[in-house]
């Protein structure tokens, strides 16, 4: 590609709209342009990277025996009514009507359409297992689209769905996809972890996320330093304290705590550590009332765990001010479990406290020296909190560390959720009709592009790993416009490299070398060749890797071989 024919606008300024590095660099490098919130156009350079990601995914999906299909982006509401998700899905689902007033959705995912295909095409157990995949545009009306293409509303996903006659086959299909994902992300040179994940509303038996490790990631992951345990914090179990609770030593006392509504304020005001104070949250119950969730002041509520508790509404909802008032006689800020008129769950760590501080269910008042069993009934206890750095690993080996990740893939054993609702059956060996089992496997194609940049950049720009680079080599001739020999040599080298299958960005623009160098670094082309008059006389050109500090002189005659070896290595 000749740069002179490539209308690409790079900028030095950091765009104000971009919070994370990848978004900033993608805008500065002219890879993407915003069209509306969470909706982007991919310009030529950016699209080349998307295609690289897709290519690796296709190769590995095909190698794993999956079959590529292409389903429509716009789907009839009937299929969603059949699965029950027309009602369940909520405002992330973009709904629309055609000219006949018929309801449609723009697909946020394709379980319904693929299950419809399966029930029509698959008749016999002999046709199973089968795995259909596609690479296609999705639309989700995200509450908070942000970080550019990382959390867009329109984005490209690879989604795959497998169909099986029995559990063992579903587990084998899942394992095959897991292995394919490891190969793909390894080939993309991402630093990733697979982690146990919540199966959410979908249920099902097994689920793992593939998380690219990056400080800007939206997900918190708990990783054990003692063994291979890794789980999304949403799911990671907090081990219950092993020490017995201390015996009460203090008398119960009411203390005035004017305006002390937060644990931090309260702890400072009373001179009591945060972990000795309780926080009490009221959430909606399934029966229309409320449930109290009690945590140590230094711990955070885990909504995914809490909404699975018996009697707690799922999804979790904080109780209304009126409901709080009815149950406690007070307002939030001074809530406590003593005398509360509703069911109470205390986190294991909160239940293990003695002589604690909690709200008195009255404005500007707290209780001090409170003890379970003595001053209020023993509560039901449960795992309600997020694990924190230093917690023991649930496997009993080592301690947990919390790291941040970007979810680039998610694999699921779905079971019969969709096949049952949509009556997707085949005949088994004895001619009986059986409902198929399913697995589903997603990858955020466009999110991977951003995730790779989060892991590969410096203050000057992007640093692409070879397999994702939009071009392998940037060829920068010096003084091209004035020197005929340089132009002739550069043209020849460009042709030679291209003929050898090397993807070259040939910077033949009439621009200063400094501009060309800066652009090459911003765009993140991994290998740079500089050809000047002096080098030409010596029969060489300068090579530098994007990560290297120094140039190497390479004889012109062996440049192509040299680059090919670099790309193979
Ligand atoms: P998240 O928790 O990030 O919202 P999800 O659980 O909703 O993800 P899935 O439904 O499993 O995601 O979709 C499969 C993959 O699609 C995800 O692993 C992620 O890489 C990608 N993805 C999901 N939502 C978005 C989005 N809004 N923008 C870009 N990629 C996305
Ligand atoms: Mg989502």
Residue nearest to atom 8 of ligand 1 (CA): 407
Same domain, 58 and 198: yes
- Does ligand 1 lie within 6 Å of residue 217's CB atom? no
- Are the C-beta atoms of 249 and 353 separated by less than 8 Å? no
The model's pTM is 0.92
Distance (Å) from CA 285 to ligand 2 centroid: 25
Q: Measured between alpha carbons, how far is 9 from 313 in angstroms, rounded to an integer?
A: 51
Q: Is residue 460 part of a domain?
A: no
What is the number of the ligand closest to the CA of 145? 1
Query: What count of Cα atoms within 13 Å lies in the side-chain half-sphere of residue 105?
Result: 24
| DSSP code per residue over 179-228 | HHHHHHHHHTT--EEEEE---GGG--S-EEEEEEE-TT-SEEEEEESSSS
The answer to whether 296 touches 350, Cβ cutoff 8 Å, is: yes
CA of 140 to the centre of ligand 2 (A): 8
Give a yes or no: residue 388 inside a domain. Answer: no
Q: DSSP states of 334-381 as a string?
A: S--STT-SS-EEEEHHHHT-SSEEEE-SSTTEEEEEE-BTTTBPPPEE
**Is the domain of 135 the same as that of 230?**
yes
Instruction: Give the ligand at the shortest distance from the Cα of 447.
Output: 1
Question: What tokens were used for 326?
Answer: 């009815």
Identify the domain containing residue 101 by its residue range: 3-236+402-453
SS3 18: coil
| Pocket of ligand 1 contains residue 152 by CB under 6 Å | yes
Q: Ligand 1 within 6 A of 409 CB?
A: yes
Q: Ligand 1 pocket, 52 CB below 6 A?
A: no
Q: Is the shortest distance between the CB of 522 and ligand 1 below 6 Å? A: no
Regarding the beta carbon of 38 and ligand 1, being less than 6 Å apart is answered: no
- C-alpha 135/C-alpha 153 separation (Å) is 16
Task: Confirm whether 461 is domain-assigned.
Answer: no
- How many whole angstroms separate alpha carbon 77 and alpha carbon 95? 8
Q: Which of 453, 481, 496 is the last residue of a domain?
A: 453
Same domain, 440 and 367: no
Q: Same structural domain for residues 74 and 156? A: yes
Q: Could you give the number of structural domains in the chain?
A: 3
**For residue 59, what is the domain's CATH number?**
3.30.930.10
Q: Say what the pLDDT of residue 8 is.
A: 83
Q: Within this chain, do residues 475 and 541 fall inside the same structural domain, yes or no?
A: yes
Q: Are the CB atoms for 115 and 424 separated by under 8 Å?
A: yes
141 Cβ closer than 6 Å to some ligand 1 atom: no
Per the domain annotation, does 446 fall within a domain?
yes
Tell me, yes or no, whether 92 and 209 share the same domain: yes
Distance CA(128)–CA(436), nearest Å, equals 9
Residue identified by tokens 């959705």 is: 105
- The DSSP bridge partners found for residue 256 are 365
Answer whether 115's CB lies under 8 Å from 49's CB.
no
422 Cβ contact partners less than 8 Å away, ≥ 6 residues apart: 79, 82, 83, 112, 115, 116, 119
Q: Is residue 242 part of a domain?
A: no
Q: Give the per-residue pLDDT at 341.
A: 87
Instruction: Write down which residue in 350, 382, 414 finishes a domain.
Output: 382
> 469 CA to middle of ligand 1, Å?
23
| Any ligand 1 atom below 6 A from CB of 407 | yes
Query: Do 184 and 60 touch, CB atoms closer than 8 A?
Result: yes
Please indicate whether residue 190, judged by its CB atom, sits closer than 6 Å to ligand 1.
no
Given 392, 421, 453, which residue is the final one in a domain? 453
Best substitution site from 447, 448, 451 to test ligand 1's pocket, by max atoms within 8 Å of Cβ?
447
In a domain, 516, yes or no: yes
- 407 Cα: distance to centroid of ligand 2 (angstroms): 10
Asked whether residue 432 is assigned to any structural domain, the reply reads yes
DSSP 3-state of 117: helix
Mutation test residue for ligand 1: of 157, 211, 212, the one with most atoms within 8 Å of CB: 157
Q: Is 247 helix (H, G, I), strand (E, B) or coil?
A: coil
Question: Nearest CA to 230 among 32, 401, 378, 12?
Answer: 401
* Cβ–ligand 1 contact at 138 (below 6 Å): no
**Which ligand is closest to the CA of 107, given by its number?**
1
Place of tokens 């059956």: 425
Kindly report the CATH number assigned to the domain that includes residue 345: 3.90.960.10
Q: What 3-state DSSP class applies to 33? A: strand
How many residues in the chain?
A: 569
119 touches ligand 1 (CB under 6 Å): no
> Domain check: are 140 and 171 in the same one?
yes
Do residues 192 and 46 share a domain? Answer: yes
Closest CA to 194 of 150, 232, 143, 166: 232
Contacts of 242 (CB under 8 A, 6+ apart): none
Ligand 1: residue whose CA is nearest its atom 31: 444
**Are residue 79 and residue 168 in the same domain, yes or no?**
yes
How remote is the CA of residue 109 from the centroid of ligand 1, in Å? Answer: 10
| Ligand 1 near 155 CB (within 6 A) | yes
What whole-number distance in Å separates Cα of residue 497 and Cα of residue 552? 18
Residue with CA at minimum distance from ligand 1 atom 18: 409
Whether 82 is in a domain gets the answer yes
Nearest 5°: phi and psi at 220?
A: -100, 135
CA separation, residue 46 to residues 17, 141, 149, 468, 562 (Å): 19, 23, 11, 10, 27
Identify whether residues 441 and 538 lie together within a single domain.
Answer: no
Number of the ligand closest to the Cα of 108 = 1
Ligand 1 atom nearest to 151, measured from its CA: 28
Cα separation, 289 vs 128, in Å, equals 48
Ligand 1 touching residue 293 (CB < 6 A): no
Can you give the pLDDT of all 569 residues of the chain as single tens digits?
999 998 889 999 988 889 999 999 999 999 999 999 999 999 999 999 999 999 999 999 999 999 999 999 999 999 999 999 999 898 999 999 999 999 999 999 999 999 999 999 999 999 999 999 999 999 999 999 999 999 999 999 999 999 999 999 999 999 999 999 999 999 999 999 999 998 765 556 689 999 999 999 999 999 999 998 999 999 999 999 999 999 999 999 999 999 988 999 999 999 999 999 999 999 999 999 999 999 999 999 999 999 999 999 998 999 999 999 999 988 778 999 999 989 999 999 999 999 999 999 999 999 999 999 999 999 999 999 999 999 999 999 999 999 999 999 999 999 999 999 999 999 999 999 999 999 999 999 999 999 999 999 999 999 999 999 999 999 999 998 899 999 999 999 999 999 999 999 999 999 999 999 999 999 999 999 999 999 999 999 999 999 999 999 999 999 999 999 999 98
- Name residues whose C-beta falls within 8 Å of residue 451's C-beta, 6 or more positions apart in sequence: 22, 150, 190, 212, 214, 406, 408
Dist. CA 200–CA 203, nearest whole Å: 6
Structure tokens at 334: 């001074």
Please provide the DSSP assignment of 73-112 as one string. SEEEHHHHHHHTHHHHSGGGSEEEE-TT--EEEE-S--HH
* Ligand 2 centroid from CA 333, angstroms: 32
Ligand 1 atom at shortest distance from the alpha carbon of 159:
14
Pairwise CA distance, residues 17 & 203, whole Å: 37
The answer to whether residues 157 and 276 belong to one domain is no
Ligand 1 mean position to 108 CA, how many Å? 10
Shared-domain flag, residues 30 and 173: yes
Q: Give bridge partners of residue 28 from the DSSP assignment.
A: none
What CATH number should be reported for the domain holding residue 547? 3.40.50.800
- The reply to whether ligand 1 has any atom less than 6 angstroms from the CB of 158 is no
Which residues have C-beta within 8 Å of that of residue 545, sequence separation ≥ 6? 526, 527, 528, 566
Long-range contact set of residues 116-124: C-beta below 8 Å, sequence gap at least 24? 116/79, 116/422, 117/69, 117/71, 118/161, 118/163, 118/419, 118/424, 118/436, 119/419, 119/422, 119/423, 119/424, 119/425, 122/163, 122/424, 122/426, 122/436, 123/426, 123/427, 124/426, 124/427
- Give the position, in ligand 1's atom list, of the atom nearest the Cα of 109: 10
Spatial distance between the Cα atoms of 521 and 519, rounded to a whole number of angstroms = 5
Neighbours of 15 (CB within 10 A): 14
């Amino acid at each position: 590609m000749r740069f002179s024919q490539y209308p690409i606008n790079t900028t030095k300024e950091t765009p104000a709209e971009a919070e994370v590095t990848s978004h900033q660099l993608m805008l500065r490098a002219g890879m993407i342009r915003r069209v509306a919130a969470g909706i982007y156009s991919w310009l030529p350079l950016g699209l080349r990277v998307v295609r690289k990601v897709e290519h690796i995914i296709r190769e590995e999906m095909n190698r794993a025996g999956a079959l590529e299909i292409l389903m429509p982006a716009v789907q009839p509401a009937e299929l969603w009514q059949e699965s029950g998700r027309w009602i369940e899905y909520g405002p992330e689902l973009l709904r629309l009507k055609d000219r006949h007033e018929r309801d449609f959705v723009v697909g946020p995912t394709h379980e319904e359409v693929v299950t419809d295909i399966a029930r029509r095409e698959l008749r016999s157990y002999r046709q199973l297992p089968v795995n259909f995949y596609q690479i296609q545009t999705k639309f989700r009306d995200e509450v908070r689209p942000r970080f550019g293409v990382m959390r867009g509303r329109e984005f490209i996903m690879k989604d795959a769905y497998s169909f099986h006659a029995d559990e063992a086959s579903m587990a084998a299909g899942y394992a095959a996809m897991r292995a394919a994902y490891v190969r793909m992300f390894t080939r993309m040179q991402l630093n990733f972890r697979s982690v146990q994940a919540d199966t959410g509303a979908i249920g099902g038996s097994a689920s793992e996320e593939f998380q690219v490790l990056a400080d800007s990631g939206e997900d918190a992951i708990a990783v054990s330093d003692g063994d291979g345990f890794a789980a999304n914090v949403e799911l990671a179990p907090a081990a219950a304290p092993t020490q017995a609770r201390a015996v009460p030593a203090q008398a119960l006392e009411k203390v005035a705590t004017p305006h002390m509504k937060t644990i931090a304020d309260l702890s400072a005001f009373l001179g009591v550590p945060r972990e000795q104070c309780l926080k009490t949250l009221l959430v909606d119950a399934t029966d229309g009332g409320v449930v109290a969730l009690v945590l140590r002041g230094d711990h955070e509520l885990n909504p995914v765990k809490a909404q699975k508790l018996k009697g707690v509404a799922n999804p979790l909802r904080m109780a209304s001010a009126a409901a709080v008032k009815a149950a406690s006689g007070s307002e939030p800020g001074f809530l406590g479990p003593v005398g509360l008129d509703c069911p109470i769950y205390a986190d294991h760590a909160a239940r293990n406290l003695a002589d604690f501080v909690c709200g008195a269910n009255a404005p500007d008042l707290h209780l001090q020296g409170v003890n379970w069993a003595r001053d209020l009934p023993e509560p039901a206890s449960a795992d309600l909190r997020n694990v924190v750095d230093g917690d023991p690993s649930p496997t009993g080996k080592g301690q947990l560390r919390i790291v941040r990740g970007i979810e680039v893939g998610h694999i699921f054993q779905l079971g019969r959720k969709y096949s049952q609702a949509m009556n997707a059956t085949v005949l088994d060996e004895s001619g009986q009709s059986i409902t198929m089992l399913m697995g589903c496997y997603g990858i955020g194609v466009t999110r991977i592009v951003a995730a790779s940049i989060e892991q590969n950049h410096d203050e000057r720009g992007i640093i692409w790993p070879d397999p994702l680079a939009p071009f392998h080599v940037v060829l920068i001739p010096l003084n091209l416009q004035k020197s005929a020999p340089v132009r002739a040599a550069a043209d020849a080298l460009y042709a030679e490299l291209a003929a050898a299958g090397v993807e070259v960005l040939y910077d033949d623009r009439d621009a200063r070398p400094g501009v060309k160098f800066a652009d090459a670094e911003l765009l993140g082309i991994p290998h740079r060749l500089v050809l000047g008059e002096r080098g030409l006389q010596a029969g060489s050109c300068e090579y530098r890797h994007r990560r290297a500090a120094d140039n190497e002189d390479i004889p012109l005659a062996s440049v192509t071989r040299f680059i090919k070896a670099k790309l193979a290595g």
